[in-house]
Chain A
Amino acid sequence: MTWETVIGLEAHVQLSTKTKLFSRASTTFGQSPNTNVNLIDCGLPGVLPSVNKEAFYKAIRFGMAVGSQINQTSIFDRKNYFYPDLPKGYQITQMDLPILLGGTIDIETDEGNKKTINITRAHLEEDAGKSIHDEFDGCSAIDLNRAGTPLLEIVSEPEISNAKEAVAYMKALHRLVTFLDVSDGNMSQGSLRCDANVSIRKVGDLKLGTRTEIKNINSFRFIEKAINFEIKRQIKQLEKGETVTQETRLYDSIKDETRPMRSKEFANDYRYFPEPDLLPVVISDKEMQDIKDNFPELPKDKELRFESEFGLTGYDSKILASSKSMADFFESSAKEAKNYPLLANWLIGEISAFLNKDLIGIDESKLTPANLAMLINRIDDQTISGKIAKSIFEEMYLNGKTPDEIIDSQGLQQISDDDEIEKIINAVIENNPAQVEGYKNGKDKLFGFFVGQVMKETQGKANPQVVNELLKKKLS
């Protein structure tokens, strides 16, 4: 029996506006509980929502980038249900006339499989607060900081066929929203969340199988694991001759399994109706034009530009352009760095290694574009050798100091002065007569010994090219 998987993803993207969708409270993450809350977010009696235009502009930017139909007139609706993190007892969302319809996202899996996934729709809605269930005796604690934060809910068509494609889709989405300055895409902080609708059917069947919804998956790794688990689970059930129950499930990352959410006695009837406190929202042609005129560069375009403007290889450009923070850092650094390929190499190689080890992004490190530029320039102008540069870099990375500070305080300037090196070479030759003899007798490998000795004497600061040249002369 061959089975095929049908997956549809609902991504909740937290928009990077400074304030909330319907109030002017801050959206800053990580604040102490209930401090990013104002009257409106709290749902106090008598308060009214008002619309944050920037949320619309960001949603539209996304729509323009993926080729959606943009509804310049869209309407907000109320979705009514009771839950403690929903202060008003309803969520303001968009049902019948959302801001965006349709669009496509191109994906490429790790294995290089390319596919285009269609978007059904995307709409704006407000986020709910957070509940903490395990900290207080017999109580759940409610923090409304997040309540009211703008979300763009993006619904894909059920065209995704496996977990790897799902991850590729979410990664592509992540890249888009960060490059477009629509969201910071930070999954661990909840800026990007994913619900996966998974169903199985026999290959060749046209009808969709019963689907389950796995809610609120918040990392690429978990998306892959949760979906794979769910596929296996559903196939097992169907092979036994049982049916799959349509339900909502949660992914438990510790046990690596999905399990059903506590079932509710009555199916929820959300009783959607148009929000009477908000009139239809209209985006004018002028506003649309402004958004178009101020459109940020898309990843593909950035790649090509890095190639042409900075003379980088296609490969290097692609890697640098794959992350907005990395791409921005490169460009900023390139303003002062003189050697672009060298700069690129450092970012892609040494620096990425350090960042990956610490699991942080470049914007979370102590490095600054100016400091890196300085380091590149010092290598380029031979103030320091490549080898010394590595140790200087480590210090920059750990302490945030500038290269010049480190070079000066440790006296790491490369010694390139011929006379100075010659003096040291003479001393080494004088002190190692046996090796000199051996080298002159044909033991070429001993050359490395002399280089090593000179380096030792100069604490590695001697300019290797100069040392090589002069040693060759002296030993011949």
Chain B
Amino acid sequence: MSIQFKSILELRKMLDTKVISTEELIQETFKLASKLKSLNCFVTMNEEASMQKASQIDQESHSISVLSGIPLGQKDLFCTEGLRTTCSSKILSNFIPPYSATAVSNLENAGSITIGKTNMDEFAMGSSNETSYFGNVHNPWKKGFVPGGSSGGSAAAVAAGIIPAATGTDTGGSIRQPAAHCGITGIKPTYGRVSRWGMIAFASSLDQAGPLARTAEDCAILLNIMSGHDPKDTTSLDVENNDLTQSLNNSLKGLKFGIVKEFNLGDLNPDVQKRFEDSKALYESLGAEFVEISLPNISASVPTYYSIAPAECSSNLSRFDGIKFGHRTEHPKDLTDLYIKSRSEGFGDEVKRRILIGTYALSAGYYDAYYKKAQQVRRLIKNDFENAFNSVDLIMTPTSPSTAFGFGSKGSQNPVELYLEDLFTISANLAGLPAISIPHGAVNSLPVGLQLIGNFLREDQILNAAHLFQKNSEFHLMKPTMEDFE
């Protein structure tokens, strides 16, 4: 029986009813991955260790948890002990971490099997997975088209049905936007929900880890396990983590959904607009009430983000200096040459751009005008959300202004073009709020995503709304034909 396109719960059933053994499942997974190699979803495969773990699990007579034996991809931003971790960058192309990220350990301790590290935009900087040192990832729905980014490899691997789920990270939309472009579900939790220990830092005050999967229910299962207070990450929240699967079927009656006035949805591509209106109607039929809300400073999200994220990343990436790990230039003249050449050889253009912008935004004379200013506007944006959540429970937006596009067709002349891809997703990172993207149809055969933004710590609500949508529609069941890749 084919394992392709199966969700976690479907695979769980197959394993529990002994339709397939864990070893067989993992073997099939690697076969699939190999067959669909041209997608370029994976940077490193973990075959030997995976087969070992699978065989161990088969020897134990009972499953320890829902994830027992389930194959997962880990975004190559997460440190995995003994398994190469590159952030899709030349500068880490030979880095083998001596420890694992907490989010990864949580999933592996729950029984999941890390079958490989998924491709991504270099250091998570990008919205199309076109900046990877290991080459572009293809969108399974259309060869030569981007899967979105930065978690492009994870999204493509799940959309292509190779694995039921994968981890991603989201700093400005990097889980949600590729989920939307690939027709799958992805959630970014509240900032601090999932530990950032072992997650190679891009922008510390914005980064969050989260799952990408075929269904909201699977996302709930994964997020349950990934979440939790970690004393090794002082920014991780010490709060009660309620079981997100318990509230999935709560009625939506009376729940208020906000539509953001300032997003001017009327200016969107009419097909994308139509999808949005149809989904609104579906939610209304489930009892939800729609209210127009105002987030007056929302149009400042993109410039705010592109002040803060590069600034933080310029500092976070200083540790890549060719001395303790990673790429080092051959024959440096002196110490300064060592730094400059190692870093310039090791980083791609987008990373360099962001480091330079960040350095500029933090430098003497510019700090107040750029970095500090942006953090002030950030507070205004957060306040706007707080106000809005006084009158609504959830906020609904399209995930992305457009569908997936061809390689090289955006951003090569003007980087800002690509930055505007993040228009709808970025503000949730600035405010630290949870947000989910679910597939809700296609335009020109390319998937379109719907975003729900929840209040602080209210993942339960957005997962609930997402799950009921999926119970009452079939968009999440759509599969790409994959004929271009076989």
A–B contact with Cβ pairs below 8 Å: the answer is yes
Interface residues of A (CB under 8 A from B): 39, 42-51, 78, 80, 82, 84, 87-90, 140, 142, 269, 271, 273, 276-279
**A39-B102 Cα distance, complex, nearest whole Å:** 14
**A88-B359 Cα distance, complex, nearest whole Å:** 16
Other-chain contact of A80, B200, B231, B318, B320 (Cβ < 8 Å): B318
Other-chain contact of B319, A43, A273, A279 (Cβ < 8 Å): A43
Q: Chain B residues with Cβ under 8 A from A279's Cβ?
A: 234-235
**A108-B233 Cα distance, complex, nearest whole Å:** 47
Q: Contacts A87-B324, A90-B315, A273-B362: A47 and B197 contacting too (C-beta < 8 A)?
A: yes
Q: Chain B residues with Cβ under 8 A from A82's Cβ?
A: 318, 321, 339
B196: CB under 8 A from chain A?
A: yes
Q: Chain A residues with Cβ under 8 A from B196's Cβ?
A: 46, 48
**A341-B359 Cα distance, complex, nearest whole Å:** 66
**Would you call A39 and B98 a contact (CB within 8 A)?**
yes
Other-chain contact of B205, A42, A48, A140, A276 (Cβ < 8 Å): A276
Chain B nearest CB from A70 CB (Å) reads 21
Chain A nearest CB from B346 CB (Å) reads 13
**Would you call B311 and A277 a contact (CB within 8 A)?**
no
Q: Mark B61-78, 1 if CB is under 8 A from A, else 0.
A: 000000000000000001
B353: CB under 8 A from chain A?
A: no
Chain A nearest CB from B198 CB (Å) reads 4
Chain A nearest CB from B463 CB (Å) reads 27
Q: Chain B residues with Cβ under 8 A from A84's Cβ?
A: 321, 323, 335
User: Known contacts A43-B319, A50-B232, A51-B234; can you find 11 more A-B pairs with CB under 8 A?
Assistant: A39-B98, A44-B325, A46-B201, A48-B196, A82-B321, A84-B335, A90-B318, A271-B315, A271-B364, A273-B315, A278-B235
Other-chain contact of B367, A48, A271, A278 (Cβ < 8 Å): A271
**A44-B319 Cα distance, complex, nearest whole Å:** 8
| Closest residue on chain B to residue A83 by CB atoms | B335
**A70-B28 Cα distance, complex, nearest whole Å:** 63
Interface residues of B in 298-339 (CB under 8 A from A): 311-312, 314-315, 317-321, 323-325, 335, 339
Residue among A39, A47, A50 facing the most chain B CB atoms (10 A cut-off): A47
**Would you call A278 and B359 a contact (CB within 8 A)?**
no
Q: Chain B residues with Cβ under 8 A from A273's Cβ?
A: 311, 315, 362, 367, 371
B223: CB under 8 A from chain A?
A: no
B79: CB under 8 A from chain A?
A: yes
| Closest residue on chain A to residue B201 by CB atoms | A46
Residue among A46, A47, A82 facing the most chain B CB atoms (10 A cut-off): A46
Q: Contacts A80-B318, A82-B339, A273-B315: A48 and B234 contacting too (C-beta < 8 A)?
A: yes
The 10 closest A-B pairs by CB, nearest first: A89-B318, A276-B204, A271-B362, A276-B205, A45-B200, A46-B198, A43-B319, A46-B79, A46-B200, A88-B319
**Would you call A89 and B321 a contact (CB within 8 A)?**
yes
B485: CB under 8 A from chain A?
A: no
Other-chain contact of B318, A47, A88, A142 (Cβ < 8 Å): A88
Chain A nearest CB from B328 CB (Å) reads 12
**A46-B87 Cα distance, complex, nearest whole Å:** 11
Q: Chain A residues with Cβ under 8 A from B367's Cβ?
A: 271, 273
**Would you call B311 and A48 a contact (CB within 8 A)?**
no
Interface residues of B in 71-114 (CB under 8 A from A): 78-79, 85, 87, 92, 95, 97-99, 101
**A10-B319 Cα distance, complex, nearest whole Å:** 28
B392: CB under 8 A from chain A?
A: no
Residue among A48, A78, A142 facing the most chain B CB atoms (10 A cut-off): A48
**Would you call A43 and B364 a contact (CB within 8 A)?**
no
Q: Contacts A44-B97, A89-B321, A269-B364: A277 and B315 contacting too (C-beta < 8 A)?
A: no
| Closest residue on chain A to residue B101 by CB atoms | A46
Interface of A is mostly: loop
Interface residues of B (CB under 8 A from A): 78-79, 85, 87, 92, 95, 97-99, 101, 196-201, 203-205, 231-235, 311-312, 314-315, 317-321, 323-325, 335, 339, 359, 362-364, 367, 371
Chain B nearest CB from A322 CB (Å) reads 41
**Would you call B315 and A80 a contact (CB within 8 A)?**
yes
| Closest residue on chain B to residue A270 by CB atoms | B364
Residue among A44, A45, A48, A140 facing the most chain B CB atoms (10 A cut-off): A45
Chain B nearest CB from A78 CB (Å) reads 6
Residue among B95, B234, B311, B312 facing the most chain A CB atoms (10 A cut-off): B234
Q: Chain B residues with Cβ under 8 A from A80's Cβ?
A: 314-315, 318, 362
Chain A nearest CB from B229 CB (Å) reads 12
Residue among A82, A140, A278, A279 facing the most chain B CB atoms (10 A cut-off): A82
| Closest residue on chain A to residue B92 by CB atoms | A45
**A46-B85 Cα distance, complex, nearest whole Å:** 11
**Would you call A39 and B99 a contact (CB within 8 A)?**
yes
Q: Chain B residues with Cβ under 8 A from A78's Cβ?
A: 315
**Would you call A142 and B315 a contact (CB within 8 A)?**
no
**A475-B364 Cα distance, complex, nearest whole Å:** 95
Chain A nearest CB from B385 CB (Å) reads 20
**Would you call A271 and B359 a contact (CB within 8 A)?**
yes
Chain A nearest CB from B40 CB (Å) reads 23
Q: Chain B residues with Cβ under 8 A from A39's Cβ?
A: 98-99
Q: Chain B residues with Cβ under 8 A from A88's Cβ?
A: 318-319
**Would you call A45 and B234 a contact (CB within 8 A)?**
no
Q: Contacts A269-B364, A276-B204, A278-B234: A43 and B315 contacting too (C-beta < 8 A)?
A: no
A-B contact pairs, 17 of them (CB 8 A): A44-B98, A45-B87, A45-B319, A46-B78, A46-B79, A46-B97, A46-B196, A46-B198, A48-B197, A50-B232, A50-B234, A51-B234, A80-B314, A273-B371, A276-B235, A277-B204, A277-B235
Chain A nearest CB from B325 CB (Å) reads 7
**Would you call A45 and B362 a contact (CB within 8 A)?**
no
**Would you call B95 and A45 a contact (CB within 8 A)?**
yes
Other-chain contact of B324, A42, A50, A271 (Cβ < 8 Å): A42
Q: Chain B residues with Cβ under 8 A from A49's Cβ?
A: 234
Chain A nearest CB from B196 CB (Å) reads 6
Chain A nearest CB from B190 CB (Å) reads 15
Residue among B78, B231, B319, B364 facing the most chain A CB atoms (10 A cut-off): B319
| Closest residue on chain B to residue A81 by CB atoms | B318
Q: Chain A residues with Cβ under 8 A from B99's Cβ?
A: 39, 44
**Would you call A48 and B318 a contact (CB within 8 A)?**
no
Q: Chain A residues with Cβ under 8 A from B364's Cβ?
A: 269, 271
**A298-B39 Cα distance, complex, nearest whole Å:** 71
**Would you call B319 and A87 a contact (CB within 8 A)?**
yes
**Would you call B318 and A271 a contact (CB within 8 A)?**
no
| Closest residue on chain A to residue B360 by CB atoms | A271
**A317-B235 Cα distance, complex, nearest whole Å:** 50
**A142-B323 Cα distance, complex, nearest whole Å:** 9
**A46-B202 Cα distance, complex, nearest whole Å:** 10
| Closest residue on chain B to residue A84 by CB atoms | B323
| Closest residue on chain B to residue A281 by CB atoms | B234
**Would you call A45 and B363 a contact (CB within 8 A)?**
no
| Closest residue on chain B to residue A51 by CB atoms | B234
Q: Chain B residues with Cβ under 8 A from A277's Cβ?
A: 201, 204, 234-235
Chain B nearest CB from A128 CB (Å) reads 13
Q: Chain B residues with Cβ under 8 A from A42's Cβ?
A: 324
**A39-B81 Cα distance, complex, nearest whole Å:** 12
Q: Contacts A45-B97, A273-B371, A277-B204: A50 and B319 contacting too (C-beta < 8 A)?
A: no
| Closest residue on chain B to residue A275 by CB atoms | B204
Chain A nearest CB from B409 CB (Å) reads 32
| Closest residue on chain A to residue B206 by CB atoms | A276
**A271-B362 Cα distance, complex, nearest whole Å:** 5
Q: Contacts A45-B95, A88-B319, A142-B323: A271 and B233 contacting too (C-beta < 8 A)?
A: no
Q: Chain B residues with Cβ under 8 A from A45's Cβ?
A: 79, 85, 87, 92, 95, 97, 200-201, 319-320, 325
